[in-house]
Amino acid sequence: MNAPWKPGSNNGRDPFAAFVCDEDTLDLLRPVVEEMGLSSDKCNMGGLRNAVQTLSVSASPNILLVDLSESGDPLNDINSLAEVCEPGTVVIAMGQVNDVRLYRDLIVSGLQDYLLKPFTPEQLRDVLAQAQAVINAPKSDDAQAEKPHISTAVIGTRGGVGASTIATSLAWLLSKDKERMTALLDLDVHFGTGALSLDLEPGRGLTDAIDNPSRIDGLFIERAMIKANEKLSLLSAEAPINSPMMTDGTAFFQLQEEFRAAFDCTVIDLPRDMLINYPHLLGDVNATVIATELTLASARDCIRLLSWLKSHAAQSKVYVVANKVQTANLEISRQDFESSIERKIDILVPYDARTAAQSAKLGQALVEAGKSSKAAAKIVELADLVLGSVEGSEDDSDTGDKQSFMGKLGELKSFLPSKKVKEEAPKV
């Protein structure tokens, strides 16, 4: 039960067994269990003690419901259950002790959930449905052996350049078009739009992870993440504005580790300040997407980000994506932008207000809302590049500092049209 999350219902085990302490609970249990397609014959009396005895001589079921009401030391007893219970079993406990510390400790020791007695049929139905979701969750165990995990961070050079739009679209494409189990981690903890843009509630998953990094394991991931589609899960937060983020970054490290084990791809929507505070976040990523606009300020920060990545995340392929590009009224031309950052822009996504608005209205990723748009087609190209990063086929252009930063910026400024001196209005 404490073993890493390993779903799969077709493993030759019984789907379900329950060991409860009283007739009332048994009576409540049976109809709900039947209704959920499980066998009520597997509802036994005898509580935890009987569960330990039975499981020590027989195979563990996929879902195990165990009553702790007669247990003097629930935590200790759960640990003895762990000794006889095979890995992969989803264990749900029930009991009469209403103590948040016990609940937390039980969850840490690998339990899926704790039902406080007396509980309603609805509550029981919910936890069983969640347990079934864990067991049935698709997981490409075999496919994963051939496909290495690909972790991608998306960073915007400036606020509002479309980093989150690209991150969400990329994650959506990886999960839908490329059929990879994908995790989208929105690290804009206070103001993230990952959930909003997919028409989902952010939940407390990321906040819980940050508060209790030691709780992060396969089961935690399964429970805390919100499903956007069959193969896309999201972890995000909408932390209260008056609560600063208090973390040394352990949680992010743990999350990345768990994602590597449970998904094929990770996409991190990474605000720039996170990069400053938690540089290790990029220590293991395979690809970094720098989302930018073609402006002077973006060029400056693109140069700085490229240089930072070169020294701090040299293992990562870097893709520069110019977004919201309008052919008219460009502050800086593509050519001038490229010469100032000393590398090519990999993908140029056109400005497409109609698709962006449609995406917001429908609560869908931009690539889904505007499937046939040119903007979507460009993000599809990006997804291909990202998938190619692990094979190492793409050759990054040189980001070397042949020139000082100020030198580059000075050169860049010369590309800007000189400001026209406006005639002052006559004073009256």
Ligand X SMILES: Nc1ncnc2c1ncn2[C@@H]1O[C@H](COP(=O)(O)OP(=O)(O)OP(=O)(O)O)[C@@H](O)[C@H]1O
Q: Is 61 in the site for ligand X (CB under 6 A)?
A: no
Token output for 96: 């009469």
Q: What does the DSSP assignment read for 89-102? A: -EEEEEES---HHH
Binding residue for ligand X, selected from 132, 151, 182, 193, defined by CB under 6 A: 193
**DSSP single-letter state for residue 5:** P
Q: Is 273 in the site for ligand X (CB under 6 A)?
A: no
Which of ligand X, Mg ion, none does 100 bind, CB closer than 5 to 8 A by kind? Answer: none
Q: How far apart are CA 167 and CA 197, in angstroms?
A: 11
Which of Mg ion, ligand X, none does 293 bind, CB closer than 5 to 8 A by kind? Answer: none
- 27 and 43 in contact (C-beta within 8 Å)? no
Cβ 380 to ligand X, closest distance in Å? 14
Q: How far apart are CA 393 and CA 372, in angstroms?
A: 28
Q: Is 351 in the site for ligand X (CB under 6 A)?
A: yes
Which of ligand X, Mg ion, none does 349 bind, CB closer than 5 to 8 A by kind? Answer: ligand X
Q: Is 164 in the site for Mg ion (CB under 5 A)?
A: yes
Cβ 313 to Mg ion, closest distance in Å? 20
Q: Is 184 in the site for ligand X (CB under 6 A)?
A: no
Binding residue for ligand X, selected from 67, 77, 186, 188, defined by CB under 6 A: 188
State whether the Cα torsion 146-148-149-154 is positive or negative.
negative
Residue closer to ligand X by CB (options 107, 291) is: 291
Number of residues that bind ligand X (CB under 6 A): 19
The helix (run of H) or strand (run of E) holding residue 84 is helix 74-84
> Other C-beta atoms within 10 Å of 320: how many?
25
Q: Which of residues 316-345 bind ligand X (CB under 6 A)?
A: 323-324
Backbone angles phi, psi at 21, to 5 degrees: -100, -15
Stretch that binds Mg ion, among 9-17, 122-130, 157-165, 201-209 (CB under 5 A): 157-165
Q: How far apart are CA 248 and CA 279, in angstroms?
A: 11
- 319 and 345 in contact (C-beta within 8 Å)? no
Q: How far apart are CA 357 and CA 66, in angstroms?
A: 50
Binding residue for ligand X, selected from 78, 356, 385, 386, defined by CB under 6 A: 356
Stretch that binds Mg ion, among 164-172, 253-261, 342-350, 402-410 (CB under 5 A): 164-172
Residue closer to ligand X by CB (options 62, 359) is: 359
Nearest to 226 by CA among 168, 272, 177: 168
Residue closer to ligand X by CB (options 165, 236) is: 165
Binding residue for ligand X, selected from 43, 78, 85, 161, defined by CB under 6 A: 161
For 133-206, list the strands marked E by DSSP.
150-156, 182-186
Cβ 343 to ligand X, closest distance in Å? 21
Stretch that binds ligand X, among 117-125, 158-166, 214-222, 305-313 (CB under 6 A): 158-166
Distances (CA, A) of 115 to 122, 127, 287: 11, 8, 42
Spatial neighbors of 142 by CB under 8 A, at least 6 apart, are none
Rule CB under 6 A: which residues touch ligand X? 156, 159-165, 188, 193, 323-324, 349, 351-353, 356, 360, 375
Rule CB under 5 A: which residues touch Mg ion? 164
